[in-house]
Structure 1
Amino acid sequence: MFKHLFKLIWNKKKQNFLLMTEMLVSFMVLFAVFTLMVYYYDNYKKPMGFKYQDVWVINISNAYQTKNTDSLDLYYETLRKIIKALPQVQELSFVSGNTPFSQQINEGGLTYKGKHIEHLNNFTGEDSYKDALQVEVLEGRWFNKQDAVSKYRSVVIDADLKEATFGKGQAVGKLLGNDDDKNKMKVVGVIQTIKRNGDYVKPGPGIYYRADTGSFRWLNKILVRVSPGADAAFEGRLYKTMANYMKNSNIEIEHLTNKLKDTNYFAVIPMIILSIVSCFLIINVALGLFGVLWYNINKRKGEIGLRRAIGATGNSVSSQLVMESMILATLSLIIGSFFAIQFPLLNVFNLQAHIYIIGMLLSIIFVYLLVLVCSLYPGRQAAAIYPAVALHEE
């Protein structure tokens, strides 16, 4: 039977080639869409790593500057006490500009035992950073005052950086840096990776440095954890309090919940665009397949009538047309899968292999279902052809 089906397909190879090309293009677009969806879902199901609810970000520009470090520290310590004295402020921390869900980045590199880690996110925060964001500590501890006098510079790394450098082994107490590096850093803790780029985008490895007395010269943001239910009236009071103290500074207050919504919105735009394109292609393929099968039925009424006359059942005729369509889809999917499998093999876009494989399998299933649905009705129409009517028309 398959030999006969392949012969029928080959006899109409020009017509079938166009249909197979449409299926192939649709498969590649669906592969991109499903891969992106799997990537987003894989990131979405991972823990956030901190509690962003009730956390505000205070942006400061044109802040107080002086060459005297003691005066600078006194100025910002006074500001800290003024903010913490407000009744609805639970904790605050001066931090670097690359706060969660912000567009600002600070990337660098790190070498450990000859292994170079690229696109490493560098963060700076105070001892209160952990409580301000309620970060989840997996190993060791967060910074404290004893880190100011330690022999090596203390750092805290996240779970992604630990996996990239130490794998499954212990990280706390290890020294980061190459063998000939004199400025090595000691890992004092490991935290859950913070999804700083939103729910759907992989954050990448991160390393955290402890803010020292000279950091106030460039730390221009404050993370403030407020009590649940803090309203606009309190936000206005906080702004007025800071404006009265920092008279020449520009102050802006943002909420992490709102920043997360904006970050997620911009992350899903590529998927929305790809989904729209794929919908048009799917409709085009469905109409093309449906039209080709309908045309074949009208052109092959004599063949179908003869098969029915010599004893073929309606179900067998219908199955023949459906099988022809499924074989065409299989040939297209074999070619498409060859190109799709190159993505995990070549590590394109640095995504995990299972994301590509799941995306490819979902695309294959979708194409098969599409072809099956589009071929069932024409197959039923072919099965309903009466032998006498078909032969009489011929």
Structure 2
Amino acid sequence: MTDKILIAFKSIGKNKNRNFLTMLGIIIGIASVICILAIGDGFAHTVTKGMGNHNTRNKVILQWEPTSDYNTDGGFTQNDASVLEKVPGVDHVKLASSIAEAGAKVSYKTKTASIGLNKQPKNLKLVKGTYFTMTGASNGIYISEDLAHKLFKENAINRLISVDGTIFVVQGIYHISNMNYRPDAYVSKTIFKQLFASQISRDQAKLYVQPDANKKQVGKTAVKRMKAMGEQKQTGKYSVSNPDAISKQFTRILNDITYFIAFIAGISLLIAGIGVMNVMYITVSERRKEIGIRRAFGATSSDIRNQFLIESVVLCIIGGVIGIILGYILVSIINAFLPFKADITSYAIILSLSVSTAVGLIFGFIPSNKAAKSELVGLLKEE
């Protein structure tokens, strides 16, 4: 086998220009597939990361949804939590909100804007100002670049703004990328709880279940009890929420779209395969003397077929490897312009090499088979 591979490399090296042009279709096709898969995987990873990782291993999440657009301030109450804690298998219950930010109206002189507002995160990268942890009843506020442009013509740092009638000092400005959602402003946790937390309805109930409990059964029982005893049952409906399933389904849809586009790009490999078949026909025709000599010295039809088939596969694998390298280079260039990082996975590399090998096998078989079936008498007569 090693001897046949070395012969294949020598044969390819004798006609470098012709074989390179044959490989060019494979190189472009593989590089295109690598780029598309990298962009798709990077986008899916960024989106699912933005949706958050939900640890639902030991809990069941109940969701309250209003039946009318006008009843948006309902949700779970402490009495509801007491009822849910009595469900068999439930250890304890915590009430939360699916949307953690509050709405507010901000104004500076004659300019006003409606914003989303949240409590200060642990780490916030600022484009202007200096980040520090605001404690207690701090009147500091961090605002987005967009909000700063709406309210101020010049520098916004240390300016006074009014948020729902309360005066704040702009301490810093941060950037909101297209791929990561952030509210328009951040205030200290204490101020957020005192002034804005009351706007947020507790539309989620997190039921922490006991280790031996059946989560599915706990969810069904909890929903039944809320439908019968929930304080907001007249204005909304209760259901079991599965955020992980939603994230997985969204990721699956993104992956399906990526693979479909990659498949369309991979059609170019079909054209490249026809080029491989053509060059292998030419190679067989040029080496009929060599085939005759091999047959005269006892080479079987299988030996002849395998030799040319290996040459076809080696030709395509070389094109595939060059295509992967070109794909890496193109992805590095593309990453400089994307708002997220395109990611080349090992799956994409294995898929590319597998496709390259398959092209060599499929489109090299017919010419190789023709060489194997050549009659020794006919080959000697030609000489």
Structure 2 counterpart of 1:302, from 288, 292, 297: 288
Could you tell me how far apart the structure 2 residues matched to 1:321 and 1:334 are? 20
The gaps in structure 2 that reach 5 residues or longer are 1-6, 102-115, 143-155, 160-168, 173-178, 210-214
The answer on 1:390 being equivalent to 2:371 is no
Secondary structure of the corresponding residue to residue 58 of structure 1: strand
1:253 Cα deviation (Å)?
A: 2.6
Paired residues of 1:55 and 1:224 also in contact (CA < 8 A): yes
Does the C-alpha gap of structure 1 residues 287 and 361 become closer, same or farther in structure 2, counting only changes over 3 Å? closer
**Are 2:82 and 1:62 equivalent residues in the alignment?**
no
| Deviation, structure 1 residue 272 | 1.8
Q: Is the 8 A contact 2:24 2:319 kept in 1?
A: yes
Give the share of equivalent positions with the same residue, in percent.
9
**Cα deviations across residues 140-197 of structure 1 (Å, max 9, x unaligned)?**
9xxxxxx7x4547799xxxxxxxxxxxxxxxxxxxxxx98584559xxxxxxxxxxxx
Shift of 1:292: 3.8
Shift of 1:96: 5.2
Q: Would you say the 8 A contact 2:62–2:223 is kept in 1?
A: no
Residue 54 of structure 1 contacts residue 225 of structure 1 at CA under 8 Å; is this kept in 2? yes
TM-score w.r.t. the length of structure 2 is 0.55
Deviation at 1:21, TM superposition (A): 1.8
TM-score, normalising length: structure 1: 0.54
Paired position in structure 1 for 2:251? 267
List gaps (5 residues or longer) in structure 1.
Answer: 66-74, 100-105, 118-139, 141-146, 156-177, 186-201
2:16 pairs with 1:5: no
* Corresponding pairs, count: 303
Which of 255, 259, 273 is residue 240 of structure 2 equivalent to? 255
Question: In the alignment, is the contact (CA less than 8 A) between 1:326 and 1:371 conserved in 2?
Answer: no
Amino acid at match of 2:330: Q
- Partner in structure 1 of residue 56 of structure 2: 51
CA 1:36–1:337: 2 relative to 1, 3 Å: same
Q: 1:360-371 alignment to 2 at 5 Å? A: 361-362=349-350, 364-371=352-359
**Deviation of residue 238 (structure 1)?**
0.9
**One-letter code aligned to 1:62:** Y
Give the aligned CA root-mean-square deviation in angstroms. 5.3
Quick one: which amino acid aligns to residue 95 of structure 2? S
The one-letter code matched in structure 2 to 1:50 is: N
Partner of 2:97: 95
Pick aligned residue for 1:84 from 57, 81, 85: 81
The DSSP-based 3-state class of the residue aligned with 1:50 is coil
**Residue of structure 1 equivalent to 2:24:** 20
For 1:25 and 1:330, the matched residues in 2 are separated by: 13
**Higher RCO by CA contacts (8 Å cutoff, separation 6 or greater):** 2
Distance 1:319 1:286 in 2: 21
**Cα pair distance change 1:336/1:370, threshold 3 Å:** same
User: Per the alignment, in what secondary structure is the counterpart of residue 203 of structure 2?
Assistant: strand
**1:61-110: per-residue Cα shift (whole Å, max 9, x none)?**
53487xxxxxxxxx99xx622212202373233425269xxxxxx79995
- CA offset digits 1:12-53 (Å, max 9, x no partner): 88xx54x632552244225533664588689999x9463364
How far off is 1:266 after superposition?
2.6
